[in-house]
């Protein structure tokens, strides 16, 4: 019988060969496998899958259901290899799905977030997060696209987003002020890390690529520092809402300027990297 870590490696490899990225899925499933190992369990059981999915206690129902769904997908694969693995049944953690209303940030909110990022500890860390937050707010890029940028992807006037969502790539034009801010960041980064440990454009304090998970966690902290989230709150304005803010502001500007918004929607959809115009607000 293959070990669970080996089965998980095979499962992730198979899914990625079909085009899935599974960044968050891998993080969750490795936590689950570690959870089982700590309990001396060598196979998946529905009971322990449910126990793990319900952690932590303060997590909201959609997040718990997401955790269990990830295990269920993996368990189906593991069960096909070895029937000793149980597949958690559907409906163990039901919840009514609903799309969260986006938070539209004001100019003051964004300035406050960037200033709060500059107050983070470290030498490079403050500048890295301040620049990422500002870049997402003025380009509407996805957070994963921002941290996924390599040095060669950032040109003088264009950013190349490679292998974005659904494997799509696109070019994102930049304003002169954005270009200058990115050049200033690169100069400071190279001064601190002349021999970096990654080809990433945005580096962590350790000279490695910033992870999407760490970026989201840090952004939540910045929201609490600026008062956009209550202390200790697990819900509130999200990093992804900067993308919503960019899209809404573009639409409002076109309305105010008297443009035919219907004709311009395909441009916004392409800019944001949406699969179809129906995905654009």
pLDDT value at residue 268: 87
For the packed helices 261-272 and 241-256, what is the interaxial angle rounded to 10 degrees? 150
pLDDT of amino acid 167:
64
Pairwise pLDDT comparison (234 vs 197), residue with the higher score: 197
The pLDDT value recorded for residue 267 is 87
Sign of the torsion angle spanned by Cα atoms 196, 199, 201, 202: negative
Flag whether the pTM goes above 0.75. no
In order, the DSSP letters of 155-174 are -SSEEEE-S-GGG--EEEE-
Helix, coil or strand: residue 257: coil
Please tell me the total count of domains within the chain: 2
The verdict on 113 and 224 lying in the same domain is yes
Same domain, 137 and 245: yes
Quick one: 77 and 149 in the same domain?
Answer: no
Q: Where in the sequence is the domain holding 14, given as residue range(s)? A: 4-81
Q: Which two tokens stand for residue 201?
A: 């454009």
* 150 and 250, same domain (yes or no): yes
Helix residue spans in the chain (DSSP H) = 4-17, 23-38, 46-53, 61-81, 107-118, 125-139, 143-147, 176-192, 212-225, 241-256, 261-272
Instruction: Please report, for the domain that includes residue 248, its CATH number.
Output: 1.10.443.10
Q: What confidence tens digit (pLDDT) does each residue in 50-76 have?
A: 999 988 777 788 888 989 999 999 999
Residues 153-176: b if buried by 16+ CB within 10 A, e if exposed: bbeeeebebeebeeeeeeebebee
Residue whose pair of structure tokens reads 């694969």 in the numeric block: 77
* C-beta of residue 257 within 8 angstroms of C-beta of residue 147: no
Of 2 and 123, the structure prediction assigns the larger pLDDT to 123
pLDDT in tens, 178-200: 999 999 999 999 999 999 889 99
From 96-105, 146-155, 240-249, the region with the lowest mean pLDDT: 96-105
Task: Report if residue 177 sits inside a domain.
Answer: yes
- Cα separation, 196 vs 186, in Å, equals 12
> 237 and 134 share a domain?
yes
Is 152 in the same domain as 68?
no
Does residue 129 sit in the same domain as residue 25? no
CA–centroid distance for 161 within its chain:
15
Cα 40 to Cα 34: distance, rounded to the nearest angstrom: 10
**pLDDT, tens digit (0-9, with 9 covering 90-100), for 159-173:** 999 876 656 788 999
Pair (116, 249) in one structural domain = yes
Mean pLDDT of the chain: 89
Residue 91 lies in a domain: no
């Amino acid at each position: 019988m293959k070990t669970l870590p080996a089965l998980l490696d095979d499962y992730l490899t198979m899914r990625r060969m079909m085009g899935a990225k599974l960044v968050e899925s891998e993080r969750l499933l490795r936590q689950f496998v570690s959870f089982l190992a700590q309990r001396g369990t060598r196979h998946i059981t529905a009971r322990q899958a449910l126990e793990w999915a319900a952690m932590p206690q303060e997590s909201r129902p959609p997040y718990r259901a997401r955790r269990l769904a990830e295990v269920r997908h993996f368990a189906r694969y593991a069960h096909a290899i070895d029937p000793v693995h149980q597949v958690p049944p559907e409906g163990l953690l039901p919840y009514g799905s609903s799309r969260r209303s986006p938070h539209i940030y004001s100019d003051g909110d964004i300035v406050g977030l960037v200033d709060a990022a500059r107050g983070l500890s470290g030498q490079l860390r403050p500048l890295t997060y301040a620049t990422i937050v500002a870049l997402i707010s003025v380009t509407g890029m996805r957070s994963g696209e921002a941290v996924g940028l390599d040095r060669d992807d950032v040109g003088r006037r264009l950013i190349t987003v490679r292998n974005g969502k659904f494997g799509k790539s696109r070019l994102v034009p930049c304003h002169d002020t954005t270009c200058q801010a990115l050049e200033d960041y690169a100069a400071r980064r190279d001064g601190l890390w002349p021999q970096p440990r990654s080809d990433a454009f945005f580096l962590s304090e350790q000279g490695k690529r910033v992870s999407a998970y760490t970026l989201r966690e840090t952004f939540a902290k910045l929201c609490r520092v600026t008062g956009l989230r209550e202390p200790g709150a697990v819900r509130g304005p999200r990093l992804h809402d900067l993308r919503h803010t960019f899209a809404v502001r573009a639409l409002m500007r076109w309305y105010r300027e008297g443009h035919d918004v219907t004709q311009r929607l395909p441009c916004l959809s392409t800019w944001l990297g949406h699969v179809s115009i129906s995905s654009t607000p």
